[in-house]
Amino acid sequence: EPEVTQTPSHQVTQMGQEVILRCVPISNHLYFYWYRQILGQKVEFLVSFYNNEISEKSEIFDDQFSVERPDGSNFTLKIRSTKLEDSAMYFCASRVDRAFSGANVLTFGAGSRLTVL
Partner 1 sequence: AQKITQTQPGMFVQEKEAVTLDCTYDTSDPSYGLFWYKQPSSGEMIFLIYQGSYDQQNATEGRYSLNFQKARKSANLVISASQLGDSAMYFCAMRLFYNQGGKLIFGQGTELSVKP
Residues that bind partner 1 (CB under 8 A): 31, 33, 41-45, 48, 50, 55-56, 89, 91, 93, 95, 98, 100-102, 105-111, 113
Q: Write phi, then psi, for 85 (nearest 5 degrees).
A: -75, -5
Q: Which of 28, 5, 22, 1 is CA-nearest to residue 108?
A: 5
Nearer to partner 1, 43 or 117 (CB): 43
What is the C-alpha to C-alpha distance for residues 50 and 106, in angstroms, rounded to an integer?
Answer: 14
Q: Residue 94 CB, nearest distance to partner 1 (Å)?
A: 11
Nearer to partner 1, 52 or 100 (CB): 100
Contact (CB, 8 A) for 30 and 50:
yes
Helix, strand, coil in percent for the chain, rounding step 5: 5, 50, 50
Q: Residue 97 CB, nearest distance to partner 1 (Å)?
A: 9
Nearer to partner 1, 55 or 73 (CB): 55
Nearer to partner 1, 69 or 113 (CB): 113
Q: Residue 76 CB, nearest distance to partner 1 (Å)?
A: 18
Q: Residue 45 CB, nearest distance to partner 1 (Å)?
A: 5
What is the C-alpha to C-alpha distance for residues 86 and 80, in angstroms, rounded to an integer?
Answer: 11
